[in-house]
Structure 1
Amino acid sequence: MPSSAPAFGGLNFGTPSSTSAFGTPSSAPAFGAAPSPSPFGFQQQATPSPSPFGLLGGGGAQITTQMAPVAPLPLSPSDRDIQAIVDAYKEDPGNPRYAFRHLLFSVTEPSQRVKPVAASDIIWAEAMGKLECMDSADRERLWPQLVQGFKDLSHRLKLQDEVLVSDTDRLSMTHSNVKKLQRHFQADTYPWIQRLKQQKLVIQRRLLRFVRIVEALENRGYRSPLTKEEADLYERLVAILKRLKGPSADLSKRVNTLLSTTRLLASTGGAGGSVYIPSSAKVDERSVTELLEALQLQTEAVAKLGNVLKRDIRDLEIIQSEDTDMAEDCVGRRAQKI
């Protein structure tokens, strides 16, 4: 029976026709229909469309593909240089290529002297080597501190400027204080020292006058009772004199006899026979030792006496100068009165 609708499953299944398979007119292709044939005699491939049932049109399954891992292409020298510049400017504690990381010496408290975490072993060893080459005073005060980037450097410069300003102010204040002290010394201290010297000279002259008066009174019999120390010294001197005189004879007399005998021998020249030496002039070894001790004491006494004479001469010069000054003052006063 001739019909315009193709049989089910034919080549023209799904082609647009005026009558559908169910006998209803339709202009859309049936379920799963293929596109219409092209004028060149082959069919166009239809793109799969999702089905309400999760299947592709035409009854085929969905095909998925996965790309295989591809090795990264090596960077060119210019790209590597650019990457090195980027790493050098990348401020990151874990970035070993950061170029603005240095150790600078700063005054640090002993409790805070530790190695920075971000400092590498190489730059830390270099900094410690420089620290060992410094003087002991600098080693006690300075310690390497880590400076990263321009922010830390600007903060460090700011602190240094503040310390420099403070030190400059302190130096100027010290300079002004020194000038004040110099003016005070010239205006007050030096004249005060000169007045003290004049007072000392006046006191020395008064003391000399007082000593002369005391000596004159002692010569006239006016003596104050001896103190305990003076009495002990007097007893010691008396004991020494007794030892010098000896138990049997006076040492001074024997010395005089021996001296006269020696002079006699020197005058005769040892000629004319033997010379009689009296028994009183004979001196034993013990007497010789005592004689030497006495001579030593007399020598020391003479030296002390010379020192006393020198002081007396100086005192006399001071007294004479004082008398001269007083005489000049009197003459000046008289001249003023006239």
Structure 2
Amino acid sequence: MTPPLGKAATSYDVAILAGVSRSAVSRAFTDGASISTETRKRVMAAAKELGYHVNFLARSLQSRRSSLVGVVASAAESPFRAKQIKITAAELVRRGYCPILLSAETPDDIDNLTSSLFSYNVAGMIITSGTPPESIIAECNRLSIPVVLVNREANVTGADQVSMDINQGGQLAFDLLKSAGVQKFCAISPRIPTYSVNGRIDAYVSRCQKENVPLQMVEIDGQSYASGLHAADQIAAHLDKIDGVFCGTDLIGLGVMDGLRYRHGLRIPEDIQILGFDDIDQTGWLSYNLSTIRQNAGKLVKAAVDAMQQRLEAPASAYQQHIIAVEPVLRATTRK
């Protein structure tokens, strides 16, 4: 027995072939449901023969319970963001959820995409890019849909938040360069601010000012490798004022390294020291071996999914902000 060509098998088809009721088919595909081992085997054999797959979206709409989780992200081409997305999807699947990934590149995208998730009856939302407007967060609260913001602005109500320790990151960057012998400091900062990157740069700058050390600021258009190459040209023009550079991201740092080495013939760390941030995989490549500060994507993701599940279990509990410490990773671009 096979369904007509071009027509997907239904639970009714499975029930007929297996000689069971449709409710038995539903129980067979529901974790923890009461069903005998023999009946489950018959259902699964029939489903395999027919090529039947459960329509989880339809099931969630009927039951008002969902395993779908919206994940809103941007800049998926960034190595750290790509790693974060990959770990988030894997962690959600491991816990029995089905992630829906939406890419948001502008503030309007954030509004539209988070609104669209209401149509999928999602169990929760994990947002790593931008911050949805208060009206959408309020609607999530009304519908008991948990919202977890990752590395986003701290002054948001109605959502749980998970963030790496931005202040610690900037302070640690200063301490690492200072202990490596840097006397003339530099910070590379994107012109278009983002909460986490510019937040750690601001903490670094504040510490430099507090310690009353020389500081040069280099502004760039983005957070890309190409932006780092451009920053290298600006740094090379002011070498008498700079002997240590804190890059807002590792990707910027890799561009800075290549620009200084191959365009300007500088030795790292002999002539100038470079420190990145994120600890993307490429920083450990032998061609870079970049000293950096690790924000642990795995810990961020685990805390975010934990927060979502806790909110599902206790929707009326106080909203929490979870801060994840960062860690130094010293390699060959600083003098330790």
Please, what TM-score do these two structures have when normalized by structure 2? 0.20
Which protein has the larger Cα radius of gyration, Structure 1 or Structure 2? 1
**By percentage of residues, which structure has more strand?**
2
**By percentage of residues, which structure has more helix?**
1
